[in-house]
Amino acid sequence: MDLPVSLAILIAFLSSAAATIGGRGEVYFDSVVMFVFFLSASRYFEDMARQRCAATVEKLVQSMPLMTTRLTATGATEEAVAAATLAPDDRVLIRPGETVPADGEIESGQSAIDESLLSGESLPLARGPGERLLGGSINITNPLQMRVSAVGADTVMAEIQRTIERAQADKPPMARLADRVAAHFIGIVLSIVVCVAVFWWWHDPTRWFGIALAVLIVSCPCALSLATPTAISATLGRMQSAGLLVKQAAALEKLNHITHVVFDKTGTLTRGEPALEAIVCNPDFDQTRCLELAATLERYSEHPLARVLVRTAGTRDRAKPSNIVSVAGGGISATIDGRQYYIGSREFISGQTEVEIPAAWQDAIDGDAVSIVLLARSDCVLAMFTFSDPLRDEARELVDKLRQMGKSILLMTGGSKGRSSSGRRCNRDRRLPCAHVSARQNGGGTGTAGRRRSRFDGR
């Protein structure tokens, strides 16, 4: 594309300069400047689109910590080292709030891990000895000792970065076709320009130069060689900023041929932020009092469900608990006004007390419809707090629009149809009419909530 453009600008400028010096003929300085301006502007927008794509990779790189704490073989000595100097089999200490510096396996400690950057899951996942940690995830509650298994280019985060970079460098068939066509097109254009110039030289020598120059300029294949890669770069950047990872640029050309759309639920059709749905209290206890007790306990936790309870209860003064004990992946116990209280998952409450959960609550606890947090004393259960992940405002509109386009909509859930939170949202009130695909189940508590997590093989 640069060849006809450069020739047009150069010829127009030289002829204008000659006309200025000679005092006769047409000058095209204004056209040359305008043409250079528009071409520079288009190149600028193309560069901006590419920079937005590069910013996605840069964001992932910056999520990794620069420094970490390495332990000696005995674990008695700590030293601050650059995360880039870690090697497989090194042992590192990850304190609450710190980012995991590399992929590895937990040797000791239990904590809640935020993997939202890697998996999109909004709630932290409980992790203990023998379980895998991914570099880029964040430790939430308790210190962990981890043995490094993969560093640098061998980590999951590095693979994600390479996938994005490959997509940016990859040219879809349309762009490759444009390059091939443009190469032949240039030769044809130059031949046409020569023929036009010769024709008008014989028929009207006073007009041949202007007409040949106009043909050279308007024949610039901007749509092929500039607009196509710019549109692709802009599309990739826009999709990546929205959380859509494009593995192959060729997939963009196939979007109009898709027949099925499979949605993940958490953070995709839902907001990815838990909200308090209901408070079910024991008839002998007041709802306001139960919420205050829950907030008093949960203000010592960093779990997202705990923050929802604290925020809902407000900022009023509360009693100061003592003997606070936090169990990662379970809950919290503490003494308030001389009595022992517990808040957390069903497993945590059953393990800490011998109280029986009311039969009327059992269906809600056994189902996957919501996340559950129980508040109890040593002699009875006080309240059950249920949480949901609200649908995005535009989710219904999106699903309806795709169905109108003739697409089959599938929802990837962690439970069976009608039992999972996704199932209730699709079937109850028919707010999201779609079919279901059950992913592999991973039961257990997460933080203070006993919530079943869905896993999808082939991350």
| 3-class secondary-structure state, position 149 | strand
| 3-class secondary-structure state, position 275 | strand
Residues constituting the chain? 459
Claim to verify: residue 106 and residue 52 sit in the same structural domain = no
- Across residues 393-404, what is the average pLDDT? 89
Q: Is residue 367 part of a domain?
A: yes
What separation in angstroms does the CA of 189 have from each of 116, 175, 182, 203, 208? Answer: 53, 20, 10, 21, 16
Contact 432, 419 (CB under 8 A): no
Q: Is residue 69 part of a domain?
A: no
What separation in angstroms does the CA of 12 have from each of 15, 29, 197? Answer: 5, 8, 15
- Across residues 53-70, what is the average pLDDT? 76
Res 75: pLDDT? 66
Counting the structural domains of the chain, the total is 4
- Across residues 216-221, what is the average pLDDT? 74
Query: Higher model confidence: residue 451 or residue 346?
Result: 346
- Across residues 357-361, what is the average pLDDT? 77
Query: What CATH number does the domain containing 333 carry?
Result: 3.40.1110.10
Q: What's the mean pLDDT when you consider all of the chain?
A: 77
Q: Where are the beta strands (DSSP E) in 232-369?
A: 260-264, 275-281, 322-327, 331-336, 339-344
Return phi, psi of residue 271, to 5°. Answer: -75, -15
User: Which residues are designated catalytic?
Assistant: 264
Q: Is residue 221 part of a domain?
A: yes
The pLDDT of residue 198 is above 90:
yes
- pLDDT tens per residue across span 80-122: 888 888 889 899 999 888 889 999 999 988 888 888 777 666 6
Res 17: pLDDT? 92
The pLDDT of residue 199 is above 90:
yes
- pLDDT tens per residue across span 169-196: 767 777 677 777 777 777 888 888 899 9
The pLDDT of residue 332 is above 50:
yes
Number of neighbouring beta carbons within 10 Å of residue 173:
12
What separation in angstroms does the CA of 42 have from each of 47, 362, 410, 450? Answer: 9, 63, 40, 54
| 222 band by pLDDT with thresholds 50, 70 and 90 | low
The pLDDT of residue 449 is above 50:
no
Pick the closest to residue 334 from 343, 349, 344, 324 (CA basis). 324
Q: Is the pTM here over 0.85, yes or no?
A: no
- pLDDT tens per residue across span 241-266: 777 777 777 778 788 888 999 887 77
Res 224: pLDDT? 62
Claim to verify: residue 286 and residue 369 sit in the same structural domain = yes
Strand partners of residue 275: 388
Claim to verify: residue 127 and residue 171 sit in the same structural domain = no
End-to-end CA distance of the chain: 41
Claim to verify: residue 210 and residue 132 sit in the same structural domain = no
CA 274 to CA 122: how far, in whole Å? 8
Res 453: pLDDT? 34
The pLDDT of residue 340 is above 60:
yes
* Residue 449 C-alpha from the chain's centroid: 24
Claim to verify: residue 381 and residue 396 sit in the same structural domain = no
352: containing domain: 279-387
The two structure tokens encoding residue 53? 């794509």
Claim to verify: residue 365 and residue 396 sit in the same structural domain = no
| 456 band by pLDDT with thresholds 50, 70 and 90 | very low
CA 360 to CA 1: how far, in whole Å? 74
Res 1: pLDDT? 67
Res 121: pLDDT? 67
